[in-house]
Structure formats: C-alpha cells, structure tokens
Amino acid sequence: MTVRLLTNIGRLWTGTDVCSNAAVLIHDDRIVWAGPASDLPQSVPGIIDDIVDVDHVENLGGGLVTPGLIDAHSHPVYAGNRWAELAMRTSGSSHSAIAAAGGGVNSTVTVTRGTDPWTLCNGVRERLRQWILAGTTTVEAKTGYHLTRDGELADIRMLRSLEGEPSMPRIHATFLAAHILPPEFFGRRRDYIEAVRLWAGDAAVAGADSIDVYCDEGHFTAEEARALLLTGKRAGLKARMHACANERIGAAQVAAEVGCASADLLTQANDDDIKALAHAGVTATVCPGSALNSSRAPAPVRQMIDRGVTVALGTDHNPGQCGITSMPLVIGLSVAMFGLSVTEALRAATLGGAAALRVGDRGSLAPGMLADIVLWDADHEGAFAWAFGLRALRVWRGGVPVQP
Ligand SMILES: N=CN[C@@H](CCC(=O)O)C(=O)O
C-alpha cells in the first residue's frame, strides 16, 4: 500500500471544479482527496492515521494540474507511412489518381500485413509512448489495417499486452475490421460483412472493448453498419462509428438507433443528425487534426453542445491524414477551429472522453477516481489555447510516475 501526496499545486482543474494552492492525496492507484491544501485532512480512516506519515510527498512547484487526458479516437496500429501520398494530395492529385498509384488505406493494409509482429509491436509501442509523455493517460486505439481474422485479433492482443507495460497509457481497444473492404473481398462484400460478424465474438474474447464501423461512401453502408454493430453488441462490445465524415448516408441515425457509445468525426452532420445523437445519448467524438488535413469543414460542435450532446476529442492519428499524438494540441485546435472555450475543450478531453468510452473511473480528480494526473508547464489552463501543444512536465498513471 502506497500513500502519495502531491502538494504546492498552484491551480487544480479537477474536471468539475477549479481551486488554487491545492493538494491531491493518492492511495495506491486511486485518488483519496483533492482540494485546497488548507482543507487537507490530517487523517483518512483505513488509509492513513497521520498525514505526516505519507510514503511520498511531491512538491509540484505551483503548476497547473489536471486529470490525465483521454484520446477518444486513434488508429495507432499500422506499419509504414503514406507521406508520398500526402505530398501528391497537396499537389492536387485526386483520390483515384492516388489509388491508381497504389495509395490509400489498402496500401497501409499491404505494408502492415507484410510486417512481422515484433517490428509492428515495437512501432506501436514507440508511438503510444508519445501519447502518455504528452499527458494522455487513456488512448482509444483501433485495429483496422490487417483486415484478416488472425491479424485483427493479434492487434487486439498486442494492444492489451502493451497496456500492461510500464509507462504506457491505458488502452481502450477497438475492433475495426469494418474499416474498408480488403482487396481479396472485392466483388464479395457480403462475404466480408459475414466474416467480420463472425470475428466480432473472437475479438471480444481477445480483449477488445469496442467495435467500430466506418460508415461512409466507399466504406460501409448504414444497413451494413447496423448489422455489424448489433452483432458486436451481442458479443459484449461497445459500439462506435465513423459517421458523416465525408457524406451523409444515414450513419448518425444508425448510431442513435443502435445506441452507440460514440459517433465520430461528424464533419458533415446536420441538425437532424445532431438531434438524433442528443436524443439517444450518443457522445460525439470530434477530431480537428484530421479535419484540417482532409479539407473537411469543422464539425458543427457548437450546435452539438447547444443541443445537449456530450462532446469528446480525438487525435484521429492515422497513417493517411494525421500524425498528431498530442491531445494538448487537439485542445488548442478545438478552441481555434470549433470556437470552444478552454474549459469546454478541456472537459471534452477528459470527462467527454470518459463518456465516449463509457468508463466511469477517470476524467476527473475526485475521490475514488483513478489517479491519472498531469502537471503542466503552465500555471493556468488558458495556456492550452496559446501553446498549441502545451508541455506535460510530469504524468502519473494510477498514482505511478511515468518515466520519460
Ligand atoms: N479516420 C480514419 N480513417 C481515415 C483513413 C485512415 C487512413 O487513411 O489510413 C479515413 O478514411 O478517413
């Protein structure tokens, strides 16, 4: 049993409250108490008889402390890169010209399939380290670049095992075999849908938390998404969806009907979509980084908030559009692109992320919550809107300091 006291916190942003000259008391991996240092209890029954007997005291030098950030949408499991394709796109090449030159999601599928598991795992480990060092203690991580039963299941097992390593973020593993139709199923899409439905149960056994379907032109239809998500839910997975990213083909309505934990991207969502999400209690996960790089209009986030939709944020890190691994940058972009206040953006990156993942044990610094905590290189949260990538000075996952 370890009791740890974080003191001399200049400003404590808990998710629900803000206070100055604060302290946080941690017992093992959980928060016991957080608030103004002047109110720090002298003892906590069953945990510590006298506060002077804590095992570790850490002076945080008057800095800003928040809950660990939550990235609610990322695609970190891939090999290779598509930088040449991005250069083509910026020179005006069309989607079809890029595909004809061997680019697109299926080119990453080819490279990922051809990469041995150890090399792939080392790359993913290095990548995930960047999230936690930048203050993101939970990452929603999708599969979706193997698109074979064994490859997708191996991806999930790899994510589960990486999560157990020291100084890695917590992982919410999402089974995304329904990312795009793989080439060997061209002309046989019904067969692929049926195969993915069969694999969903195996994905749950392998340790997946969620199933995701990319519902859009060129990916999967609303009807296919409904069938896949309902199968995934029956297997015990939470449902999430790439919805209304490029075209509106009924994805938001299906997300609402199926009871998705979150509908993501939503750049083309209109008021009917937003109303449906609000009515069904579906969290909207928006990703400003990939929207910027794909020339999509920013998602209508203000309308979502006005309609009562809970908003979460994601990096949408993926090999084709967006290399961002910094949620502090995503917070800055959300303020600039969506017109969110810093408080709204920070809440979306903490409690909003917890809602998107349907986890109740993180996203705020309250007694009983996981001690996932970040000390920032600032003394006020307004710095997120200024730094575009505010630096995390120290990170604790479950009360344990993350080693740089
Ligand atoms: N948000 C995720 N999927 C991207 C593609 C990812 C990639 O290009 O590798 C999309 O098709 O929008």
Is residue 230 within 8 Å of residue 197, measured between CB atoms?
Answer: no
| Ligand 1 pocket test, candidate residues 264, 318, 322, 324, most atoms within 8 A of CB | 318
Pocket lining for ligand 1, CB < 6 angstroms: 75, 105, 108, 242, 245, 290, 316, 318-321
State the pLDDT confidence band at 269, using cuts at 50, 70 and 90.
Answer: very high
Report CA(105)–ligand 1 centroid distance (Å).
7
Dist. CA 161–CA 28, nearest whole Å = 22
Is residue 11 within 8 Å of residue 380, measured between CB atoms?
Answer: yes
Is residue 225 within 8 Å of residue 189, measured between CB atoms?
Answer: no
The number of residues making up the chain comes to 404
Is residue 213 within 8 Å of residue 220, measured between CB atoms?
Answer: yes
Residue 264 has pLDDT above 80, yes or no: yes
Other C-beta atoms closer than 10 Å to the C-beta of 40 total 16
Can you tell me which atom of ligand 1 is nearest the CA of 145? Answer: 9
Contacts of 151 (CB under 8 A, 6+ apart): 112, 113
Q: How far is CA 325 from CA 42, 97, 204, 286, 289, in A?
A: 40, 29, 26, 15, 10
Residue 55 has pLDDT above 80, yes or no: yes
Other C-beta atoms closer than 10 Å to the C-beta of 131 total 25
Can you tell me which atom of ligand 1 is nearest the CA of 104? Answer: 8
Q: What is the pLDDT of residue 295?
A: 67
Residue 294 has pLDDT above 90, yes or no: no
Report CA(320)–ligand 1 centroid distance (Å).
6
Nearest CA to ligand 1 atom 7: 320
> Dmax of the chain from CA atoms?
70
Dist. CA 209–CA 333, nearest whole Å = 28
Mean residue pLDDT of the chain comes to 96
Report CA(382)–ligand 1 centroid distance (Å).
31
Can you tell me which atom of ligand 1 is nearest the CA of 245? Answer: 12
Residue 366 has pLDDT above 90, yes or no: yes
| Ligand 1 pocket test, candidate residues 73, 74, 75, most atoms within 8 A of CB | 75
Burial (Cβ within 10 Å: 0-12, 13-18, ≥19) of residue 240: buried
pLDDT tens digits, residue range 187-205? 999 999 999 999 999 999 9
Can you tell me which atom of ligand 1 is nearest the CA of 242? Answer: 1
Nearest CA to ligand 1 atom 8: 320
Report CA(290)–ligand 1 centroid distance (Å).
9
Report CA(244)–ligand 1 centroid distance (Å).
13
User: For domain 69-357, which architecture applies?
Assistant: Alpha-Beta Barrel (3.20)
Q: How far is CA 322 from CA 50, 82, 154, 231, in A?
A: 50, 10, 24, 30
User: For domain 3-68+363-401, which architecture applies?
Assistant: Roll (2.30)
Fold identical between 3-68+363-401 and 69-357?
no
Phi, psi for residue 143 in degrees, rounded to 5: -85, -160
Dist. CA 229–CA 76, nearest whole Å = 22
| Ligand 1 pocket test, candidate residues 105, 112, 146, 216, most atoms within 8 A of CB | 105
Contacts of 248 (CB under 8 A, 6+ apart): 268, 269, 270, 273
State the pLDDT confidence band at 97, using cuts at 50, 70 and 90.
Answer: confident
Nearest CA to ligand 1 atom 9: 320
Contacts of 365 (CB under 8 A, 6+ apart): 12, 14, 15, 24, 31, 34, 65, 66, 67, 373
pTM given for the model: 0.97
Q: What is the pLDDT of residue 99?
A: 76
- DSSP 3-state assignment of 174? strand
Nearest CA to ligand 1 atom 3: 318
Contacts of 183 (CB under 8 A, 6+ apart): 106, 109
Q: What are the tokens at 207?
A: 């340790």
**Sequence ranges of the domains in the chain:** 3-68+363-401, 69-357
Is residue 27 within 8 Å of residue 1, measured between CB atoms?
Answer: yes
State the pLDDT confidence band at 165, using cuts at 50, 70 and 90.
Answer: very high
Report CA(343)–ligand 1 centroid distance (Å).
29
Report CA(294)–ligand 1 centroid distance (Å).
10
Burial (Cβ within 10 Å: 0-12, 13-18, ≥19) of residue 30: middle
Q: What are the tokens at 281?
A: 């209690």
Nearest CA to ligand 1 atom 11: 105
Phi, psi for residue 49 in degrees, rounded to 5: -80, -35
Q: What is the pLDDT of residue 96?
A: 75
